[in-house]
């Protein structure tokens, strides 16, 4: 659902990019009672029709005069969640007219968009009958019921990941014969080389090499990768994930350590676009190069 919302937000931003269009360009268009101008290239009235709450898997091309503002033709994706109209003659009315396999162009009034409070570009001038054209081809429809089922399945998977995390940590600890006990917070701090220099503290500038990986060994980030350099930063509360900061505060210059960080001290449920899975325990191998 987040992905759909994100794409929809992008489309809303594109709506405000407009173009003047004379009657000649709209001569082949039909018009609904609300004033929406449209032209169907392909119609499949017997196919599944979009309903409120559905998501359209579609291709779209948005044009402004001869300029293309958006184009994913040939690469259909979940573009829209169908909803009630925000104003008469808006794009949502057009979407509700569409069936799987339909291809149509809709002409939307920029003035109507502006009246909804959208931020308009500097070249937009109210009252000039400026419009934007959307060519949309519907390849499929994900119904509201299907979306709800997806959501429930995703929530179930997240619950499984959350509930199984400690078992995964315990298995890793046993498999690697780790004897250290976790701190009160749940962090495992394993010193592999005792530091001989200055102690790390909040407000100090530190330089480190690090490698971050998952319990299965998958590396998701490392300063040792080709083209990378050691990371230098001022240690501040809240700058890093909690477990990383807690581990660093136990270290000294020239020291090395491995941190095993449960998800509640890391990224928790995470982000769908992140390479780190939900409720993932993280392992960091850290070498402190400098403290000042």
**Residue 205 to residue 234: CA distance in whole angstroms:** 4
Any catalytic annotation for residue 70? no
Looking up tokens 């259909």 gives: 76
Annotated catalytic residue within 208, 241, 260, 283 = 241
Q: What are the DSSP calls for 103-169, one per residue? A: EEEEEEEHHHHHHTTPPPPTT--TTS-EEEEEEEEEEEEE-HHHHHHHHHHHHHHHHHHHHHHHHHH
Annotated catalytic residue within 106, 188, 210, 279 = 210
**How long a stretch of residues is the chain?**
292
Any catalytic annotation for residue 221? yes
CB atoms inside a 10 Å sphere around CB 12: 14
Tokens read off for 244: 């990383």
Supply φ then ψ for residue 195, to 5 degrees: -75, 150
Annotated catalytic residue within 87, 173, 178, 221 = 221
Any catalytic annotation for residue 188? no
Annotated catalytic residue within 220, 244, 276, 285 = 220
Any catalytic annotation for residue 66? no
Any catalytic annotation for residue 284? yes
Task: Decide: helix, strand or coil at residue 291.
Answer: strand
- Kindly tell me the sign of the dihedral angle through the C-alpha atoms of 90, 151, 59, 28: negative
Task: Decide: helix, strand or coil at residue 30.
Answer: strand
Annotated catalytic residue within 283, 284, 285, 286 = 284
Any catalytic annotation for residue 80? no
Q: Which residues carry out catalysis?
A: 210, 220-221, 241, 267, 284
């Amino acid at each position: 659902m987040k992905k759909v919302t994100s794409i929809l937000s992008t489309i809303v931003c594109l709506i405000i990019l407009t173009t003047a269009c004379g009657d000649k360009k709209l001569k082949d268009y039909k018009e609904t009672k609300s004033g929406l101008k449209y032209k169907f290239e392909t119609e499949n009235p017997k196919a599944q029709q979009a309903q409120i709450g559905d998501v359209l898997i579609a291709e779209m091309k948005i044009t402004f005069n001869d300029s293309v503002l958006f184009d994913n033709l040939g690469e259909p994706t979940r573009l829209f969640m169908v909803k009630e109209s925000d104003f008469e003659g808006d794009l949502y009315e057009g979407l509700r007219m569409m069936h799987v396999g339909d291809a149509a162009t809709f002409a939307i009034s920029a003035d109507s968009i502006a009246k909804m409070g959208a931020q308009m570009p500097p070249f937009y001038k109210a009252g000039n009958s400026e419009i934007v054209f959307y060519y949309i081809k519907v390849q499929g429809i994900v119904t509201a019921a299907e979306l709800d089922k997806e959501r429930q399945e995703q929530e179930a998977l997240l619950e499984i990941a959350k509930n199984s995390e400690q078992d995964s940590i315990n298995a890793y600890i046993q498999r690697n014969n780790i004897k250290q006990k976790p701190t009160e917070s749940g962090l495992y701090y394993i010193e592999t080389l005792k530091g001989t220099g200055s102690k790390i503290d909040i407000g100090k500038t530190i330089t480190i090499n690090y490698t971050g990986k998952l319990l299965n060994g998958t590396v998701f980030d490392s300063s040792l990768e080709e083209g990378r350099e050691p990371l230098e930063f001022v240690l501040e509360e809240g700058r890093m994930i909690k477990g990383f900061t807690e581990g660093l505060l136990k270290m000294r210059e020239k020291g090395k350590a491995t941190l095993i960080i449960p998800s509640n001290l890391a990224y928790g449920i995470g982000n769908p676009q992140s390479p780190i899975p939900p409720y993932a325990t993280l392992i960091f191998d850290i070498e402190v190069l400098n403290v000042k």
